[in-house]
Amino acid sequence: MGEPERRRKAQERAALIVRVQAGQISAVEAARQLGVSRKTYYKWEARALAALVGSLEDREGGRPESPQDEEKDRLREEVGELRGELDVHAQRERVREMMGRVAEGDGEKKGGGATGGDR
């Protein structure tokens, strides 16, 4: 049985369950129209009503949580650590450049350059 046929049968069952719940026909009549026992009809009715209640329960707003991807989480953490290390190295390089400039300035002062006697 294909998907359209299954859907049509489910819709027929649902329509009969609604009619029984509305008091328009009896469960015995619905079972007869569906060609099943009364016991089978009641099983279907219970499933349908449970699904209806479940579909109407309050849900949290927003997007549903996406499943956790452990590898992605680990890689994000590693990227964060590497960015931190990169920042440390960049700061270290700036300090080295400043120290180099300071050292060059000290050399000029000691060597009697233009600012050597201003101390």
Per-residue pLDDT of the chain (119 residues; tens, 9 = 90+): 799 999 999 999 999 999 999 999 999 999 999 999 999 999 999 999 999 998 888 888 888 777 788 898 899 999 999 998 998 888 889 888 888 888 888 766 666 555 555 54
* Residue 91 resides in a domain: yes
The pLDDT value recorded for residue 113 is: 53
Supply the range of the domain harboring residue 96. Answer: 71-112
- Identify the H or E element spanning 107: helix 70-110
| One domain for residues 17 and 41 | yes
* Residue 39 resides in a domain: yes
Cα separation, 33 vs 64, whole angstroms: 40
For tokens 């026909």, the residue is 25
* Residue 64 resides in a domain: no
Category of 60 on φ-ψ map: left (φ > 0), alpha (ψ -120 to 50) or beta: beta
The pTM assigned to this predicted structure is 0.50
* Residue 80 resides in a domain: yes
Beta-carbon contacts of 28 under 8 Å, excluding residues fewer than 6 positions away, are 38
* Residue 94 resides in a domain: yes
| One domain for residues 77 and 38 | no
| One domain for residues 12 and 47 | yes
Residue type, 29: E
Number of domains in the chain: 2
| Nearest C-alpha neighbor of 48 from the set 15, 23, 25, 24 | 15
* Residue 101 resides in a domain: yes
Q: Are 76 and 68 in contact (CB under 8 A)?
A: no
